[in-house]
A and B are shown apart, each in its own frame.
Chain A
Amino acid sequence: MEMIGMEGSHAVAEAVKLADADVVAAYPITPQTHIVERLAEMVADGELNAEYIPVESEHSAMSACLGSSATGARTFTATAGQGLELMHEVVYVASSMRLPIVMAVANRALSAPLSVWGDHSDVMAVRDTSWIQVFAENGQQAFDLTLCAFRIGEDPKVLFPVMVHLDGFHLSHVVEPLVLLEKSQVDKFLPPYKHPYSLDCDRPVTMGAFAMPAVYAEVKKAQHDAFLATKQVILKAWKEYGKLSGRHYSPVEHYHTDDAKVLLLTMGSFSETAMVAVDELRKKGEKVGLIRLRLWRPFPFEELRQAVANAEVLIVLDRCISFGGPPGPVCSEVRAALYAEQKRPKVVGFIGGLGGREIAVAEFKQMVSRGREAADKGAEAVPQITGIR
């Protein structure tokens, strides 16, 4: 396939079309709208043979997805920010009922004050929902990871829903060069969806029975175990996708990490800016590298530990504040993941990029020097908010 220029949102829609999704249920919210507008257009033009349900809220979007997925239909939705919050309780049900819905989230800040622009506050609120969650850092990845999401979620060994995160505006609204796949390639990669216990009159099932205290804990333990076990399927699917497309994904991705003493850690679209900062610092002889969390859930403990094993300082960027807690959710998870390690880097947390605020290359460079300084002084425990005027 040839390289084309395409907006990130449309790339996601192309992936959904190539996956031949059966049902799309969605409610408009900025900055996700371009995804579902494009899908609605595809359905209207007969390019995509699907039922498009223009629901009256995000709560109903995810609820309709539950019904659709339980009936055996390949199901997609997209949302952002407040929309993800409105559907919050339904998000838990989708994963706990093991319905492999795929949802693109064009990450957006949360009100108040109202902000349609990007950050990761919406993601962090659904951190513990047992959805598989991956982060894209460009339009190409948004396309690739959406296709992989169907394959991973619907695998009979998985049956968990998957969220594909693409930063609002930075990815959802930017036209980038990217390469799609042929339908024939996708068909080889993605088998038809068949839920083993769908709503079927010949084999009636009761879905969503309630659990007394005598069984609830066992149900949740089983869910936790099954969720952890999805990792192997994720790795296998990405490996096969790599063979198919030439684009390889792994839970933690490395950029100049081999000899790096200082590592930056990012998720999402700012990773590419951080790469430029790393390049420039390396030109000056500084041993700086970058790791990007591709897989946010299930959290890649092993891969993270390996990636940072030789670093002295690890600088983590969060695009969300956990008010009154350890302020950066990603940073606190990274710290927790490394706590029991004999040898571990000092972890410095920065919070930035809130509500669509840019983080330029220079600011990443500054984070490296400020982070190193804090680590030297033993002041790494105090998180810093970057870019405040």
Chain B
Amino acid sequence: METYAIYVPRLLPQKDFFAPGHRACIGCGEALAVRLVTKTLGRNVIISNATGCMEIVSSPYPTTSWRVPWIHTLFENASAVASGVEAALKILNAKGKRGDSPKVVAMGGDGATSDIGLQALSGAWERGHNFLYVCYDNEAYMNTGIQRSSATPYGASTTTSPAGKVSIGQTRWKKNLPAIAVAHNIPYVATACPSYPFDLIEKVKKAVAIPGPAYLHVLSVCPTGWRHATDLTIRIGRLAVETGVFPLYEVENGSYKLSMDFPKLRPVRDYLSPQGRFRHLHEEEIDRIQERVTAEYEKLKKKAEA
């Protein structure tokens, strides 16, 4: 570990394209993920950003954190805008009106991706536009004040799925967006988490190198919405992976591969207990979550072994 600080920066490009000074909360896992994604993409990229935390913290006029061409228009249409950018680049190059081919990347939060923007994203996947979509999943509408989305996990208390005398909070299981992406037969789908920066970087590189649509689902730990200490962001991301709550995997042309496997998963309690949003859960619910996580992980493993 002593040589880590000397060794690691050499593996990464020094230059950042997501400038510091933005207004993300302390301990924001999403800002960290965006920094890594943009670092990996380099200067030759056009980003289409959905409305959400990241757009708000990075672009209060007249300031900007974006050192690459960046366009934000609305909440649910980042992938439709990216479709237009990609099509325009294609034809302008073919007609000799532009001589560059930047990568196109769309990004949005879990609300923009799995709820309001799902139709536009599905359309773009079906049409086969060559761009990477990155979902920064912090498991609720954090920008508007921690309302539940279809990506909010079972049992989490949010402002619109509050835990109460007769409710455990969110009563539905998290929507499986990567599986929906896979169902579109796109060439590359992966999950990642900034707690595993090199895994994330490799996946971004791969996603933009493969022609056709690519989808990267990034768990973005949110101390504000998940109600945990701000210095626990990296640890909670690791716990999500180590407990099997958020497994890291890739699906290339339909075939699944686990990015890391654990001979034995940690109990989900280790992941749930530091987070205020799960604090109200009783044994019974925790057991239920454990059962579900184990079963889902086994299913995933089977797919990877197939």
Q: Determine whether the beta carbon of A208 is less than 8 Å from that of B72.
A: yes
**Does B258 touch A at the CB level, under 8 Å?**
no
Using a CB-CB cutoff of 8 Å, which residues 86-123 of chain B contact chain A?
A: 86-92, 94-95, 97-98, 100, 102, 119-120, 122-123
A194: nearest chain-B partner, CB-CB: B97
Q: Determine whether the beta carbon of B74 is less than 8 Å from that of A201.
A: no
Q: Determine whether the beta carbon of A54 is less than 8 Å from that of B127.
A: yes
**Does B61 touch A at the CB level, under 8 Å?**
yes
B55: nearest chain-A partner, CB-CB: A210
Among A53, A69, A212, A219, chain B packs the most CB atoms within 10 A around the CB of: A53
Complex-state Cα separation, A50 to B127, whole angstroms: 16
**Of B45, B70, B81, B97, which contacts A66 at CB under 8 A?**
B81
Q: Determine whether the beta carbon of B92 is less than 8 Å from that of A210.
A: no
**Does A60 touch B at the CB level, under 8 Å?**
yes
The answer to whether residues A55 and B80 also contact, given A63-B120, A67-B85, A211-B61 and a CB cut-off of 8 A, is: yes
Give min CB distance, A339 to chain B, whole Å: 37
Complex-state Cα separation, A200 to B119, whole angstroms: 28
Interface locus among A89-97, A227-235, A272-280:
A89-97
Complex-state Cα separation, A61 to B60, whole angstroms: 27
| A50 partner residues in chain B, CB cutoff 8 A | 91
Using a CB-CB cutoff of 8 Å, which residues 73-132 of chain A contact chain B?
A: 73, 75, 89-90, 93, 97
**Does B195 touch A at the CB level, under 8 Å?**
no
**Does A51 touch B at the CB level, under 8 Å?**
yes
Give min CB distance, B132 to chain A, whole Å: 15
Contact-size category for B: 35 or more
Q: Determine whether the beta carbon of B68 is less than 8 Å from that of A49.
A: no
Using a CB-CB cutoff of 8 Å, which residues 45-64 of chain A contact chain B?
A: 49-51, 53-57, 59-61, 63-64
**Does A3 touch B at the CB level, under 8 Å?**
no
| B120 partner residues in chain A, CB cutoff 8 A | 56-57, 59-60, 63
**Does A70 touch B at the CB level, under 8 Å?**
yes
Give min CB distance, B241 to chain A, whole Å: 33
**Does B46 touch A at the CB level, under 8 Å?**
yes
A199: nearest chain-B partner, CB-CB: B69
**Does A300 touch B at the CB level, under 8 Å?**
no
Give min CB distance, B171 to chain A, whole Å: 30
Complex-state Cα separation, A91 to B268, whole angstroms: 47
**Does B257 touch A at the CB level, under 8 Å?**
no
Complex-state Cα separation, A192 to B55, whole angstroms: 32
**Of B45, B64, B88, B102, which contacts A23 at CB under 8 A?**
B88
Q: Determine whether the beta carbon of B67 is less than 8 Å from that of A55.
A: no
**Does B56 touch A at the CB level, under 8 Å?**
yes
The answer to whether residues A49 and B80 also contact, given A71-B85, A199-B69 and a CB cut-off of 8 A, is: no
Give min CB distance, B32 to chain A, whole Å: 21
The answer to whether residues A209 and B77 also contact, given A67-B82, A192-B97 and a CB cut-off of 8 A, is: no
Q: Determine whether the beta carbon of B61 is less than 8 Å from that of A215.
A: yes
**Of A67, A208, A219, which contacts B84 at CB under 8 A?**
A67
Give min CB distance, A103 to chain B, whole Å: 14
**Does B126 touch A at the CB level, under 8 Å?**
yes
| A209 partner residues in chain B, CB cutoff 8 A | 59-64, 72
What is the number of residues of chain A that contact chain B, defined by CB distance less than 8 Å? 45
**Does B76 touch A at the CB level, under 8 Å?**
yes
Judged by DSSP, the binding face of B is mixed
Q: Determine whether the beta carbon of A73 is less than 8 Å from that of B91.
A: yes
Give min CB distance, B107 to chain A, whole Å: 13
Our count of residue pairs bridging A and B at CB distance below 8 angstroms stands at 166
| A66 partner residues in chain B, CB cutoff 8 A | 71, 73, 77, 81, 84
**Does B35 touch A at the CB level, under 8 Å?**
no
Complex-state Cα separation, A54 to B60, whole angstroms: 34
Using a CB-CB cutoff of 8 Å, which residues 259-291 of chain B contact chain A?
A: none
Give min CB distance, B271 to chain A, whole Å: 34
Complex-state Cα separation, A206 to B48, whole angstroms: 10
A21: nearest chain-B partner, CB-CB: B91
Q: Determine whether the beta carbon of B94 is less than 8 Å from that of A49.
A: yes
Complex-state Cα separation, A199 to B55, whole angstroms: 17
A214: nearest chain-B partner, CB-CB: B61
Q: Determine whether the beta carbon of B70 is less than 8 Å from that of A206.
A: yes
Give min CB distance, A3 to chain B, whole Å: 32
Complex-state Cα separation, A60 to B84, whole angstroms: 9
**Does B83 touch A at the CB level, under 8 Å?**
yes
Q: Determine whether the beta carbon of B81 is less than 8 Å from that of A64.
A: yes
B47: nearest chain-A partner, CB-CB: A199
A25: nearest chain-B partner, CB-CB: B84
Complex-state Cα separation, A56 to B123, whole angstroms: 6
**Does A204 touch B at the CB level, under 8 Å?**
yes
Q: Determine whether the beta carbon of B69 is less than 8 Å from that of A201.
A: yes
| A212 partner residues in chain B, CB cutoff 8 A | 60-61
**Of A65, A192, A199, which contacts B71 at CB under 8 A?**
A199
**Does B43 touch A at the CB level, under 8 Å?**
yes
**Does A22 touch B at the CB level, under 8 Å?**
yes
Question: Mind listing 25 A-B residue pairs with CB under 8 Å?
Answer: A22-B95, A50-B91, A55-B80, A55-B83, A59-B77, A60-B119, A63-B73, A63-B77, A67-B80, A67-B84, A68-B87, A71-B84, A71-B88, A72-B97, A73-B88, A75-B88, A90-B73, A199-B71, A201-B43, A201-B46, A207-B70, A209-B60, A209-B61, A209-B64, A210-B72
